[in-house]
Structure formats: C-alpha cells, structure tokens
Amino acid sequence: MKDAEPRVGDNILELANVEASYGPVQALRGVTLAVPKGKIVTVLGANGAGKSTILKTISGIIDPSKGQIRFEGGEIQRRDPSWIVRHGIGHVPEGREVFPLLTVDENLRMGAYTRSDAAGIASDLDMVYAYFPILKERFRQEAGLLSGGQQQMLAISRALLSRPKLMLMDEPSLGLSPLLTQEIFRIIGRINKEQGTTILLVEQNANMALEVADYGYVLEVGRIVMEDTCKRLLEKEDVQEFYLGMKSQGVRGQRRWKKKKQWR
C-alpha cells in the first residue's frame, strides 16, 4: 500500500476534528488523521506544534475539548489512561520517563501491570531482550544509571510489555547520536513488521521518520497543513527545505512555510 491513500475501515485509529487546550492555550485546533492497521504513520512538526499533545489526547492523559478519537471503531476520548492501555494503546512518552530508582527488570514489569499471563509476559521479556540485548545485560541495574539511548530502549520495551496493538512514540530520537537514532529507527521498523504493531510516531527528525513510516502528516500550530505518503512528502520542496535541512535557512523551531497559503 506504499502509494495508496489509507482506506477507511482499515484504520485502527481515527481522530476527527480534535481540539485540546491547556487552560487558555489552545494546542490542537481541529486535528483529523487516520492510522491504518499495521502501518507506521508519522506526524512531523516544529517545537510547540502540538505533537505531544496529540499523543496525550489519544492515551487519555488529557481530554480533548472537542472532536472524536476512535480506536478499533469505538470512541475512546473520555476513557481514562489505564483503560486505554488495557485495550491496546501503548505510549512511549517524550523524554523517556523511566523510573530511575527501579531496576531495568522492574521497569519492564511495570509495563506489564495490566496483564496477568505470566507465560506471555516471560516470552515478551525475551522478545524485548532480543531487540535490545544491552537491557538484558543491565537488567538488575537501576534505570537512572542507563545512558539516554539505553533509557529510550527501555521506554520502548516497557511499552511493548503491555503488548500494544498501537504504539504511540514521542520523539524517540530526541537527544540521541545519529548512529543510535538509526539503530532505534531500524528496531521500530522491525517491531512493526515482526510484531505487527501499528505505530504512530511523532518526530522532529523528518529524515528518519519519513524513511521508516508509510504515511505522514505535517502539523503546524495545532493544525494539519499537509499529508501524503512518506515517499511523496520526501519529494516535496517545502518538506525538504524546512524539515530535511536541504536548503535550510530558518532557525530550528522557528521555521515558517514559504507557501503556507496554498495548503489552507
């Protein structure tokens, strides 16, 4: 389905006109997007565009003030976060947020708190240790002593332990070296293919995100301003200019769309 539009009905997740605010600050101004089952969808956007807010409204951390969020056909926008995790949405938050004083092993088991199938949990632990062997080596160590990249691996693994159908990933490349970023994205691609996990990935690193994802949305100040297959987004001059740094003149985080009007 590389070049095809996502077909309605195949979507595991749909957002329709979602609005969300923090007090007087309106962060989402009517976001509509779809995530087809089995695919990787990315939302690109500069600092403050509302990327993390999209993921927080999906996982129930904040309630949208308007609009619908449908997961597997049912509305979830007023469900609480633990209901949402139990029903198959895992969230890897921005900045990892591992429990620093708990061991790697304890952090992973926290990810499985909604489950009671000991054999399934054990086999999922083996699975994440196979993706990230370093975590197995460090499994008795406090998570706070891991490097940033290792903590990112732990955060992804912890989300996998809830055996999500849909995984929300908030800037997995943040603060990582280019090499480690590549490694993490390679594993994100493998998790999608090998575990069949659908992934909604928000990123500022458009290069990597557009390479690993099937379909992409561009978010600007709480609004989707563009969407297309990643293949076509990669070819668009404005995406190249503002997100891939090919002719970049803007300061990171203060980019403006040159031809903004034609997309509205």
Ligand X SMILES: Nc1ncnc2c1ncn2[C@@H]1O[C@H](COP(=O)(O)OP(=O)(O)OP(=O)(O)O)[C@@H](O)[C@H]1O
Q: If binding is defined by CB under 5 A, does position 204 make contact with Mg ion?
A: no
CB of 254 to ligand X, least distance (A): 12
CA pair distance 142, 157, nearest whole angstrom = 15
Contacts of residue 13, Cβ cutoff 8 Å, sequence gap at least 6: 34, 35, 58, 69, 70, 71, 166, 198, 200
Q: Read out DSSP for 127-186? A: HHHHH-HHHHHTTTSBGGGS-HHHHHHHHHHHHHTT--SEEEEE-TTTT--HHHHHHHHH
The residue sitting closest to Mg ion, measured at its beta carbon, is 52
- Distance between CA atoms of 261 and 118, rounded to whole angstroms? 55
Residues 1 and 37: their CA atoms lie apart, in Å, by: 12
Query: 102 or 221, CB closer to ligand X?
Result: 221
Positions in the binding site for ligand X (CB under 6 A): 22, 25, 27, 45, 47-53, 94, 204
Distance CA 114, CA 163 (A): 10
Whether the Cβ atoms of residue 75 and residue 69 lie closer than 8 Å to each other: yes
Backbone angles phi, psi at 68, to 5 degrees: -120, 145
Give the count of residues interacting with Mg ion (CB under 5 A): 3
Closer to ligand X at the Cβ: 51 or 91?
A: 51
Nearer to Mg ion, 168 or 230 (CB): 168
Pick 41 or 125: Cβ nearer Mg ion: 41
Q: Which is nearer to ligand X, 53 or 152 (CB)?
A: 53
| Residue 123 contact, options ligand X, Mg ion, none, Cβ 5-8 Å cut-off depending on partner type | none
User: Which of 57, 49, 244, 79 is closest to 168 using CA atoms?
Assistant: 57
From the list 44-52, 85-93, 160-168, 183-191, the region that binds Mg ion by CB under 5 A is: 44-52
Interface region with Mg ion, contact rule CB under 5 A, candidates 27-35, 91-99, 135-143, 185-193: 91-99
52 part of the interface to Mg ion, by CB under 5 A: yes
**Contacted entry of Mg ion, ligand X, none for residue 259, CB cut-off 5 to 8 Å set by kind:** none
11 binds, among ligand X, Mg ion, none (CB under 5 to 8 A by kind): none
94 forms part of the interface with Mg ion (CB under 5 A): yes
Residue 53 contacts which entry, ligand X, Mg ion, none (Cβ below 5-8 A, type-dependent):
ligand X
Specify the pairing of strand 40-44 against strand 198-203: parallel
> Residues interacting with Mg ion, by CB under 5 A?
51-52, 94
